[in-house]
Structure 1
Amino acid sequence: MEKIDMQIDEFMNYCQSKNLSRKTLMSYEQTLRLFARYLLDTVKVIDATKLTEKMFREYIVSLKERGKYSVVAEEKSKKTNNPQNRKDLGKKISVSTINNYTRNIKVFYAFLLEQSFIKKNPLTNIKSIKCDRKPKEFIEDMEIIKLLKSMDNSKFHEYRDSIIIQTLLDTGTRISETLSILVQDLDLANRSILLQAENTKGSKHRYVYFSQELQKELRRWLQYKDRYVESNYLFPSVKCNKLQIGSFETNLRQYGQRIGINIHPHQLRNNFAKRFLMAGGNLFTLSKILGHSDISITTNSYLDLSDDDIRKSYQAFSPLANMRKAGK
């Protein structure tokens, strides 16, 4: 084991002590192990404290040039991950992915500075790469209605997935958060759901709220679920276990194919955010609902309203029209 591996281990222990989410821990570790492999193989650096700004900039260039999955942290992982079977093998790494790698590595070097392993942070002048954001894919009302109508509610898994879809659309929760909800987290009377800290991206508990329409659907779902399975999870598998994200994603993709659309869970969260803003909701409230650590994340992620969106939204908030309504 090289010194850089031990330094990464120490950083990961530090992150774990801060109770960061499993997803965040995995993102940090995967990024840093790949980076360590690059330093060892390319510039023969075995100590993270020996990194220079020039070395890191060369690393960014290498990321732009190499293809996806062409480098792994450990060769033995190829036997289990089978990168050769991936359809996007060799394709260019996206700018957003490179920026994510950069953020993760900068957190690592901030840790090294804080713990006095280094006297100066070599990544101080490193900035994220500017990139054009693609607008979030929007699912029209009729497509949602058509999707839900295509599902067979006489089958346990399809009825469950229908309620999950409606929950994602009505609350803006992440699919990982949604599948972790326990029955005891649900408050039907106050139309709220407690998302436990261990299941949220920021490792902080928060409440989300839902409509009267979803309240009725959830009440019916609970009665149905309890007839067939015994599980503390609100949306369990047929075998009463926690439903896995991959299983739901596969199901959702198949439901979408029935009506000729491509759909994935995060689209439903995106659609919630856009609909919330279009209905007059403010960014601060939306940021709290979505569980973002900073309102700038919300701003950067969900402000792709088209001219038509703005036109429709304006009609409800026209100053002159509202003054005339008030004067009647």
Structure 2
Amino acid sequence: MGMDADFDWRGRFLRYLASERQFSPHTLSSYGRDLDRLTRFMALHGPDRIDQLSERDIRRFAAECHRDELSGRSIARCLSAIRSLFRFLHREGVVEHNPALAVQAPKSPRRLPKTLDVDQIGELLELPDDGSPLAARDRAMMELIYSSGLRLSELVSLNQTDPDLADGSLCVTGKGRKERLLPIGRKAVEALQQWLERRPKLASYDEPALFVSSRGQRISPRTVQQRMDHWGQWLGISGKVHPHRLRHSFASHMLESSGDLRAVQELLGHADIATTQIYTHLDFQHLMSVYEKAHPRAQKGKKND
């Protein structure tokens, strides 16, 4: 095994991910950035060729990333990209072993998702109706994310045929191309009806996308983020308003009211219930806050007379 100095390992690997693994452009871009970081490390510290990297080099690379203040999650993603790269190189007969297999990223403190409280949600979703299609579209998008717990990618990929407003249901294709059927709340149904009445002002009859831009084409994730940030600032809501924050709020409020972790897992489309369990920590934080304020022997900094 071995390779010559001109072997384009980065280009070959990314082409493999695009053609055989059919990764999305966004994922390919992330892999490319991680491999560029590895290339810069090799240029500074060696070795010269990818097949000469050792486990010690990979550990040093992870330590350099940590010193550059990359989060544990970002370092873990880099290491995952490198492990995938070496599996590909082994398949190509370039290397004999994978030096990144035993290297682990440092753990980051667990970040709990920021949510909007019920009053903030109410304020955000009662947007003033100026009769324009854009205001109706934005309200419908936000209502639908909060009503059904959609991911941003799921929202923008919706077609007109996906929601059944008479039945109050929505067919969504999530991660791994798995379909799930979700309920749509009454308020979201009303918002969608208002949007669909005004949608012909922006889009042609044969445009399949449910949500379109001002140019009449399927709306982009970036535009959705910008519009929600705009409304959050316009209403003076604390913290940045973005699609994922609405999804987090949906999950937290559902779990707080129902306590049914399995049902929330199904609604969110989480493959692993451990992903959903982060919301139990959010709920517990809320309970602890209430407890410490209300319980006479739990209040901090106060002495009983």
> Do 1:4 and 1:36's aligned partners in 2 also have CA atoms closer than 8 Å?
no
Aligned equivalent of 1:105, options 76, 79, 82: 82
Aligned match of 1:64: 66
Q: Secondary structure at the match of 2:98?
A: coil
Distance 1:23 1:253 in 2: 22
Are positions 1:202 and 2:176 aligned together?
yes
> Do 1:157 and 1:238's aligned partners in 2 also have CA atoms closer than 8 Å?
yes
Amino acid aligned to 1:51:
L
Q: Secondary structure at the match of 2:182?
A: strand
- TM-score, scaled to structure 1: 0.74
Inter-CA distance 247–307: structure 2 relative to 1 (3 Å threshold): closer
Q: Give the CA deviation at 1:160.
A: 0.7
Q: Secondary structure at the match of 1:202?
A: helix
Distance 1:2 1:205 in 2: 46
Q: Secondary structure at the match of 1:279?
A: helix
Amino acid aligned to 1:252:
M
Aligned match of 2:125: 148
Are positions 1:138 and 2:115 aligned together?
yes
Q: Give the CA deviation at 1:165.
A: 0.6
> Do 2:13 and 2:85's aligned partners in 1 also have CA atoms closer than 8 Å?
no
Aligned match of 1:123: 100
Inter-CA distance 132–205: structure 2 relative to 1 (3 Å threshold): same
Aligned match of 1:244: 220
Percent same amino acid at aligned positions?
A: 23
Query: What do the CA deviations read for 1:69-108 (whole angstroms, capped 9, x no partner)?
Result: xxxxxxxxxxxxxxxxxxxxxxx33332222222332333
Are positions 1:10 and 2:13 aligned together?
yes
Inter-CA distance 5–187: structure 2 relative to 1 (3 Å threshold): farther
Q: Give the CA deviation at 1:145.
A: 1.5
Are positions 1:272 and 2:250 aligned together?
yes
Query: What do the CA deviations read for 1:250-292 (whole angstroms, capped 9, x no partner)?
Result: 2221211123222122111111121222222543443343333
Q: Give the CA deviation at 1:54.
A: 1.0
Size of the alignment, in residue pairs? 283
Distance 2:242 2:81 in 1: 26
Distance 1:263 1:242 in 2: 22
Amino acid aligned to 1:277:
L
Distance 2:46 2:141 in 1: 49
Farther-moved stretch of structure 1 (54-63 vs 210-219): 210-219
> Do 2:254 and 2:264's aligned partners in 1 also have CA atoms closer than 8 Å?
yes
Aligned match of 1:253: 229
> Do 2:159 and 2:208's aligned partners in 1 also have CA atoms closer than 8 Å?
yes
Aligned match of 1:296: 274
Q: Give the CA deviation at 1:161.
A: 0.7
Gaps of 5+ in 1: 67-91, 313-328
Amino acid aligned to 2:46:
V
> Do 2:124 and 2:232's aligned partners in 1 also have CA atoms closer than 8 Å?
yes
Q: Secondary structure at the match of 1:223?
A: helix
Distance 1:241 1:226 in 2: 12
Are positions 1:235 and 2:211 aligned together?
yes
Gaps of 5+ in 2: 291-305
Q: Secondary structure at the match of 2:103?
A: coil
Are positions 1:24 and 2:14 aligned together?
no
Aligned match of 1:42: 45
> Do 1:181 and 1:234's aligned partners in 2 also have CA atoms closer than 8 Å?
yes
Inter-CA distance 194–240: structure 2 relative to 1 (3 Å threshold): same
Distance 2:266 2:85 in 1: 27
- TM-score, scaled to structure 2: 0.79
Aligned equivalent of 1:215, options 173, 177, 189: 189
